[in-house]
Amino acid sequence: MNQMLQDAPQNASELQDASELKDSPETIDRPPDPAHPRFAKPQRVAFVQSSWHREVVEECRIAFLAEIAARHISNVDVFEVPGSFEIPLHAQILAKTRRYTAIVAAGLVVDGGIYRHEFVADTVIKALMDVQLRTEVPVFSAVLTPQQFHESAAHFEFFRKHFAIKGIEVAEACANTLLSLERLRGQVAAGIM
């Protein structure tokens, strides 16, 4: 806060210089950030990501953290597991702690190893849904399995960008669901439903 006060214009001539800068052609007028609703109670989210293809999956986490903060959720704990197959067990243990209002999973499942990637992806998604239904803690998935993935620079770049988009989308889904559940649980507690 002191830094902000020190940087503020101190007199009329500085204010005039600041207004000239604002009106200069180099200044870009940006649309205001969208106003996202606030929560009645603090939210805490667990983000569980696989370390397999970390350089791709981390783009999801980075985008998620930026978007979820814009939606007034700043309490996010990040956990890393070896692969996507390990995510559901971690999600279940985290959900059972009751410390988290939501859990987000992120991973990239590709062909290789002893399991077929479709089997792993289906198993992970089903297990995450089971965790959600058993614990009533919403679980969101950004566990993706592309039809084709090659260990090439072009594919890595494409999927890094794709995971950044998915990070924003999963943050939006997480925040909107938590708002909806907060309203619903409030109505149930008040006897409205």
Question: Where is the binding site for 5-amino-6-(D-ribitylamino)uracil, in residues?
Answer: 52, 84-86, 108-110, 141
Contact 87, 123 (CB under 8 A): no
What is the identity of the amino acid at 111? Answer: D
Q: Which residues contact 45 (CB under 8 A, 6 or more apart)?
A: 68, 73, 75, 76, 77, 100, 101, 102, 103, 104, 174
Active site residue 116: yes
Contact 102, 142 (CB under 8 A): no
Q: Annotated binding site for (2S)-2-hydroxy-3-oxobutyl phosphate, which residues?
A: 155
CA atoms within 13 A on the CB side of 86: 10
Query: What is the chain's length?
Result: 193
CA atoms within 13 A on the CB side of 84: 30
Which stretches of the chain are assigned E, i.e. beta strand? 44-50, 75-81, 102-108, 139-144
- Which of 54, 98, 116, 134 is catalytic? The answer is 116
Tell me which residues are annotated as active site: 116
